[in-house]
Amino acid sequence: DFNSESEDNDDIHLIQNMRQMGLNLLEQQQPEALATEDYILCFHIPPFNSVDHLHLHVLAPASKMNWAYREIKYKCGARWCTSDLEVIERLKDGLPAVRYKRHADAKFDSVYLNFAWIKCCGSRNE
């Protein structure tokens, strides 16, 4: 787990930067979906993920997605999927990134945010 306040802020900034990159992508590729908020920005929650690194799903237009994907696989608020904004708010409130733990002693934020930070920005100790 991350303990220092600066590291918590780093995690928040990482997710905020990922969100901004997603919005920039929508602006370039799907401006109408962005303007009408017809998009999904989300993370899958372990163990309901198929790729073991933090990545943001940017999906648009959501209204044209297959129903099963829109209403099941990428349904924010489900046990397996959370919105980028929920992660940001939870981190700001000092809570784990997601409501559910992978198992008794592993958290989404401590495992996946640390990996993403290192991939994005190098060691936290630099």
Contact 33, 39 (CB under 8 A): yes
User: How many Cα atoms within 13 Å fall on the side-chain side of residue 40?
Assistant: 21
Phi, psi of 82 (to 5 degrees): -135, 150
Q: Which of 13, 44, 53, 55 is catalytic?
A: 55
Q: Burial of 39 by CB count in 10 Å (0-12 exposed, 13-18 middle, 19+ buried)?
A: buried
Q: Burial of 119 by CB count in 10 Å (0-12 exposed, 13-18 middle, 19+ buried)?
A: exposed
Q: What is the CA radius of gyration of the chain?
A: 15
Catalytic annotation on 53? no
Q: What are the catalytic residues?
A: 55
